[in-house]
Amino acid sequence: MPDSRETIVVAFGGNAITGPDDTGEIHEQFYHARVAIRGIRELLASGAGVAITHGNGPQVGTSLHRMELARGQVPPRPLGVLVADTQGGIGYMIAQVVRNWLRQEGLDRPVSAVVTQVVVGEDDPAMGAPTKPVGSSCDAETAEQLRAHGWAVSGDDRKGYRRLVPSPMPVRIVEAPAIRHLMAEGQIVIACGGGGIPVIETEHGELDGVDAVVDKDLASALLAREIGADRLIILTAVNKVVLGFGSPSPKPLDRLTVAEAERYLAEGEFPPGSMGPKIQGVVDFLKHGGKEALITSFAALPRAWKGEDGTRIFPE
């Protein structure tokens, strides 16, 4: 069970605010936000210090599509600004839902959403090797126009083409000191939406946005490290981490140590596009002072609080 003396970062899954069959309407997103908050109500009521992070993939995709439709009518916006836009919108929805739930329960805790920048390395090899698809699919003719614009594009005529952007490693959370201060004052904080707005830092300490996407789980783990969190909770689509996922004989895991997690990562058990970043983020967090991490689903979280579900990862 959560402890009122703890500081906990809870990372919502990428599609926590948008269902697979949704149209993207705002009322749908508010609905999913309410469902998500119900899943962590014990945590919110415990008095523990809480930071909530979230994905923004569907929302950024919608923003890019909107920009494509308006091409020639309004000036385009860089990807970093779109990430900031979605941080504000989703942060507003989650903060409002949390605040309303606290009020219904007679709990008096302030809630803040923080637009969050994440420093990445300009010399990160990923900056020269775009791999992360963003935006909606397009046809071959449009793909050629995107390439002429200098963008990397991947896909085929059958499934369509999508723009690719780099996905560098997060180095530092710019707003971590402010988030730490807010939490010390008892605030519930929503931060690091979509992995944060990627920025590079000049030799003079100035920040400049870059067109890239930071993995949300790696950013959440870095935030947990930088604010000195005790626990990191990553909520995803599965109840437990599974060895041999998708094989005839999968093995769900109740418990992992850092050494075991690193071994499984090296053996390729956790793919880079799904469980891999979650496990890597957890390992980084625990190797830098974190006490415990939990990976589970929203549905299984109430059981996981009691030790009846989920995968717990410990330093040793």
Residue 227, pLDDT > 70, answer yes
Q: Are residues 288 and 246 in the same domain?
A: yes
Q: Are residues 228 and 263 in the same domain?
A: yes
DSSP 152: E
Q: Say how far apart CA 92 and CA 314 lie, in whole Å.
A: 33
User: pLDDT grade, residue 213 (50/70/90)?
Assistant: very high
- The domain that holds 64 is classified in CATH as 3.40.1160.10
Residue 221 placed within a domain: yes
Q: Quick one: pLDDT at residue 130?
A: 92
Q: Quick one: pLDDT at residue 85?
A: 95
Q: Are residues 250 and 299 in the same domain?
A: yes
Structural domain range at position 150: 130-165
Q: Are residues 31 and 135 in the same domain?
A: no
Catalytic residue selected from 13, 57, 132, 276: 132
Q: Are residues 187 and 243 in the same domain?
A: yes
Q: Are residues 188 and 50 in the same domain?
A: yes
Residue 15 catalytic? yes
Q: Quick one: pLDDT at residue 30?
A: 92
Of the given ranges (64-73, 197-206, 222-231), which has the lowest mean pLDDT?
Answer: 64-73
Residue 15, pLDDT > 80, answer no
Question: What pTM was computed for the model?
Answer: 0.93
Cβ-proximal residues to 197 (8 Å cutoff; 6+ apart), any chain: 80, 83, 84, 87, 115, 116, 117, 118, 209
Q: Are residues 137 and 223 in the same domain?
A: no
Q: Are residues 183 and 244 in the same domain?
A: yes
Residue 251 catalytic? no
Residue 196, pLDDT > 90, answer yes
- Summarize the confidence of residues 73-80 as an average pLDDT: 90
Q: Are residues 59 and 12 in the same domain?
A: yes
User: pLDDT grade, residue 272 (50/70/90)?
Assistant: confident
The C-alpha R_g of the chain, in whole angstroms, comes to 19
Cβ-proximal residues to 163 (8 Å cutoff; 6+ apart), any chain: 64, 133, 134, 135, 146, 151, 152, 153
Number of structural domains, the chain?
2
Q: Say how far apart CA 202 and CA 22 lie, in whole Å.
A: 41
Catalytic residue selected from 13, 61, 80, 278: 278
Residue 78 placed within a domain: yes
Q: Say how far apart CA 196 and CA 181 lie, in whole Å.
A: 19
Catalytic residue selected from 13, 61, 80, 216: 216
- Per cent of the chain over pLDDT 70 is 98
Q: Quick one: pLDDT at residue 3?
A: 63
Residue 240 catalytic? no
Convert the pLDDT of each residue in 94-144 to its tens digit: 999 999 999 999 999 999 999 999 999 999 999 999 988 887 788 898 888
